[in-house]
């Protein structure tokens, strides 16, 4: 007889603990999925085994006579042991429930009445592709990575390479070495739109049978099928978005994270894990190599490399030796003074026209979708806001509706101002829909397409838009950050960043870093073929360091200045930011409980000067009909465990207190304070 400690699949905070059951199967092991009788009614529930004991003789163990028995074991849905260890790490790091961590790692339930489902790999060619000759810099990079892979030890590499320097080939050759050892590889990409070209490269190199695909655009049935291909050993390469870090491989040899700096690696759902941080943790547990690839390392990753936690490898030249694109700053204040009221600066217009006449293509980037940013009355200043969230609504020309980009609520545009009755309701600001319209007017006869969250909603539309651009059927591609990341087009002559100020002015201490990275990424789409490209960055803030350094390609200058600002302001990597959010349909309840938790932290005596900030309405003070209050802790690294212990105790007391009504969310190092 064995005794197992399990986590039961139950959503209540009151059952977020281990339960002990007896098991007659001597082969039971960590990670097994079981069915157990639970609660007074002994209703069968799914559970996951976290530890196995031969006997019950430890202090605190229950009476063997009172222990219930495991009813069933589902071997095919079991988790590898390293994922159970990762669950425990997530629990400690993000203060999430055990079952929340487990649910990141298991597939959706298989649908009843199973029909043959379309395999997401079917659309990719299986035509064999051989490895090209490496450049000297690529050879040096492989010389640093391969010993770690061959010795089967963990190390984290920061592969810092300029755009088009051949990072993907390093990923492929690292994967080849791992597969030679009979081990397995996870490859993460930040956006689903980038997955097709990555999948295509890996299938061409290793064959479709060895590759599995996992991301949120798949149906539940497809995700189940791909998870089972990995779990059963039919696939040994997994390509996916952030959830791919939890792929159920037993013999993991490497985790590759492309564009490691991207904010999309941070989950916006509970548990709010960071996939990059989680990849490094899993690599340590599995003794696997971790490669973090980027053309603009995050400040935190670059700092860790400087501290010796990661090993930095640099690629400073493009693979084909084509020069990096020239980046020019267009001061839109000066354009206005000259009488140019177009959304295109004189230089962007001229360079784009010249490129188009030469048979080359143009990308116009703006990180804001919709037609107009907000609708306002010119008489009284009224702004149309979402009734549920309280934030300004964006006008979409294609639907003729105003839309909330947080909750998705839509509303008709009023003919007159609801506040003063004036007919002067006007649209302000621009989005990608407006850029698309203006591009058609400025460049008549040219084929213009748009790629943003609105056009990408229809299944297969992202791939269709990108393929048309790749084949040259589209002359101008307008888009949000979906067009700025990792896409490899050979004929792009000009990239225009319509407004670099959009990301610069968001309420986030990373706004300068994100602006710098987006300019570098967008610029990297130009001149990837045999001819050099040009980039025009339009801004009303040309003096900002993020913009100046991106234009000159001075990452080190930007990094030094940003690091100094972070140190003075008490931001990561010098601290850990802990955010506690309280929300409830009753505003006074949310405010009161946030204040009570804040006082508990304050009265613990741990908080030094400048570490604890009093509760305030969140930037999005209303969301989905709930009022939101939050407070922030800037914890010095050496105090992190103490703060987490205090917060964990507060959470436990709230669980046991029936008077606590508001929902409390805990987020570590949030990417946004909205």
Q: Which residue has the tokens 């143009």?
A: 362
Residue 103: predicted pLDDT: 96
Cβ-based burial of 564 (10 A; exposed 0-12, middle 13-18, buried ≥19): exposed
| Dihedral sign for Cα atoms in the order 148, 150, 153, 154 | positive
Are the C-beta atoms of residues 1 and 25 closer than 8 Å to each other?
A: no
Domain definitions of the chain by residue range: 2-78, 136-315, 326-370+431-564, 372-429, 575-668
Residue in 404, 609, 483, 520 with CA at minimum distance from that of residue 194: 483
Task: Tell me whether domains 136-315 and 326-370+431-564 share a fold.
Answer: yes
Are the C-beta atoms of residues 518 and 367 closer than 8 Å to each other?
A: yes
Pair of tokens at residue 4: 């197992």
CA distance linking residue 443 with residue 439, whole number of Å = 6
Other CB atoms within 10 A of residue 433 CB:
25
Q: From the options 3.40.1440, 3.90.550, 2.40.50, 1.10.3470, give the CATH code of 2-78.
A: 3.40.1440
Indicate the DSSP class of residue 297: -
Single pTM value for the model? 0.90
CA distance linking residue 306 with residue 215, whole number of Å = 33
Residue 388: predicted pLDDT: 65
What confidence tens digit (pLDDT) does each residue in 495-512 have? 999 988 877 767 678 889
Residue 481: predicted pLDDT: 81
Calculate the alpha carbon distances from 42 to 35, 418, 539, 601 in Å: 11, 57, 64, 39
Other CB atoms within 10 A of residue 264 CB:
17
Residue 407: predicted pLDDT: 66
3-state class (DSSP) for residue 520:
helix
Residue 600: predicted pLDDT: 97
3-state class (DSSP) for residue 614:
coil
Residue in 153, 210, 221 with CA at minimum distance from that of residue 187: 210
Residue 380: predicted pLDDT: 81
Pair of tokens at residue 19: 């339960």
Residue 389: predicted pLDDT: 60
Are the C-beta atoms of residues 666 and 647 closer than 8 Å to each other?
A: yes
Are the C-beta atoms of residues 193 and 457 closer than 8 Å to each other?
A: no
Residue in 221, 263, 270, 217 with CA at minimum distance from that of residue 244: 217
Residue 246: predicted pLDDT: 97
Residue 232: predicted pLDDT: 94
| Dihedral sign for Cα atoms in the order 134, 135, 139, 144 | negative
What confidence tens digit (pLDDT) does each residue in 185-195 have? 999 999 877 77
Architecture of domain 326-370+431-564: 3-Layer(aba) Sandwich (3.40)
> What is the distance, to the nearest Å, from the Cα of residue 601 to the centroid of all Cα atoms in its chain?
30
Pair of tokens at residue 571: 């931001």
Calculate the alpha carbon distances from 11 to 45, 175, 298, 500, 580 in Å: 12, 38, 35, 43, 20
What secondary structure does DSSP assign to 22-71, as a single string?
A: EES-TT--TT-EEEEEETTTTEEEEEEEEEEES---STTPPPGGG--B--
What secondary structure does DSSP assign to 132-172, as a single string?
A: PPPPHHHHHHHHHHHHHHHTT--EEEEEEE-TTSSHHHHHH
- Residues of the chain whose pLDDT is less than 50? 112
Residue in 183, 182, 237, 231 with CA at minimum distance from that of residue 205: 237
Q: Which residue has the tokens 């079917």?
A: 122
Residue in 673, 647, 662, 620 with CA at minimum distance from that of residue 96: 647
3-state class (DSSP) for residue 435:
helix
Calculate the alpha carbon distances from 167 to 171, 172, 280, 396 in Å: 6, 9, 19, 38
CA distance linking residue 208 with residue 126, whole number of Å = 6
Residue 590: predicted pLDDT: 97
CA distance linking residue 353 with residue 346, whole number of Å = 11
Under CATH, which number does the domain 136-315 receive? 3.40.50.300
Q: Which helix (H) or strand (E) holds 516?
A: helix 511-523
Indicate the DSSP class of residue 187: E
Domain 575-668 has CATH 3.10.270.10: no
């Amino acid at each position: 007889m064995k005794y197992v400690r399990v986590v039961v699949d139950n959503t209540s905070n009151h059952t977020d603990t281990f339960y002990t059951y007896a098991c007659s199967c001597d082969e039971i092991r960590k990670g097994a999925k079981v069915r157990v009788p639970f609660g007074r009614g002994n209703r069968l529930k799914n559970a996951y085994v976290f530890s196995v004991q031969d006997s019950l003789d430890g202090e605190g163990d229950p009476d063997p006579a009172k222990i219930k028995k495991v009813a069933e074991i589902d071997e095919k849905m079991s988790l590898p042991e390293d994922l159970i260890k990762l669950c425990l790490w997530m629990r400690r790091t993000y203060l999430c429930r055990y079952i929340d961590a487990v649910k990141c790692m298991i597939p959706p339930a298989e649908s009843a009445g199973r029909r043959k489902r379309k395999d997401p790999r079917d659309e990719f060619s299986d035509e064999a592709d051989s490895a090209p000759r490496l450049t000297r810099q690529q050879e040096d990079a492989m010389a640093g990575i391969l010993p770690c892979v061959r010795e089967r030890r963990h190390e984290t590499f920061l592969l810092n390479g300029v755009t088009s320097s051949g990072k993907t080939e390093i990923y492929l050759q690292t994967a080849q070495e791992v597969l030679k050892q009979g081990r397995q590889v996870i490859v993460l990409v930040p956006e689903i739109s980038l997955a097709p070209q990555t999948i295509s490269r890996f299938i061409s190199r290793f064959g479709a049978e060895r590759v599995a695909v996992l991301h949120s655009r798949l149906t539940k049935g497809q995700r189940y099928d791909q998870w089972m291909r990995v779990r059963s050993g039919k696939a040994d390469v997994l390509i996916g978005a952030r959830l791919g870090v939890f792929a159920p491989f037993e013999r993991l040899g490497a985790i590759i994270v492309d564009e490691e700096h991207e904010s999309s690696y941070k989950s916006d759902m509970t548990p709010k894990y960071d996939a990059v941080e989680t990849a490094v943790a899993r690599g340590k547990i599995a003794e696997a190599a971790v490669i973090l690839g980027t053309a603009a390392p995050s400040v935190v990753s670059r700092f860790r490399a400087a501290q010796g936690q990661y090993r930095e490898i640099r690629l400073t030249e493009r693979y084909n030796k084509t020069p990096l694109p020239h980046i020019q700053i267009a001061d839109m204040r000066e354009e206005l003074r000259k009488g140019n009221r177009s959304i295109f600066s004189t230089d962007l217009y001229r360079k784009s026209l010249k490129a188009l006449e030469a048979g080359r293509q143009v990308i116009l980037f703006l990180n804001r979708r919709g037609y107009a940013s907000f609708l306002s009355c010119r008489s009284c200043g009224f702004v149309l806001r979402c009734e549920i969230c309280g934030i300004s609504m964006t006008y979409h020309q294609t639907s003729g509706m105003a839309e909330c980009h947080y909750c998705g609520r839509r509303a008709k545009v009023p003919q007159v101002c609801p506040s003063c009755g004036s007919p002067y309701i006007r649209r302000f600001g621009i989005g990608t829909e407006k850029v698309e319209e203006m591009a058609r007017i400025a460049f008549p006869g040219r084929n213009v397409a748009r790629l943003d969250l609105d056009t990408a909603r229809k299944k297969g539309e992202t791939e269709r838009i990108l393929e048309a651009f790749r084949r040259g059927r589209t002359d101008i591609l307008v888009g949000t950050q979906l067009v700025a990341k990792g896409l490899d087009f050979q004929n792009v002559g000009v990239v225009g960043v319509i407004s670099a100020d959009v990301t610069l002015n968001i309420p986030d201490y990373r706004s300068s870093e994100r602006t710098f990275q987006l300019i570098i990424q967008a610029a990297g789409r130009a001149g990837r073929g045999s001819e050099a490209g040009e980039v025009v960055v339009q801004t009303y803030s040309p003096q900002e360091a993020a913009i100046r350094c991106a234009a000159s390609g001075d990452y080190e200058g930007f990094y030094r200045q940003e690091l100094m600002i972070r140190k003075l302001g008490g931001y990561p990597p010098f601290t850990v930011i802990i955010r506690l959010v309280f929300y409830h349909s009753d505003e006074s309840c949310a405010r009161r409980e946030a204040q009570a938790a804040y006082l508990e932290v304050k009265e613990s005596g741990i908080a030094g000067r400048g570490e604890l900030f009093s509760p305030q309405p969140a930037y999005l003070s209303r969301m989905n009909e709930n009022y939101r209050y939050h407070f922030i802790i800037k914890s010095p690294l050496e105090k992190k465990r103490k703060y987490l212990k205090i917060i964990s105790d507060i959470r436990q007391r709230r669980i046991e207190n029936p008077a606590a009504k508001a929902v409390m969310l805990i987020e570590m190092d949030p990417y946004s304070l909205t």
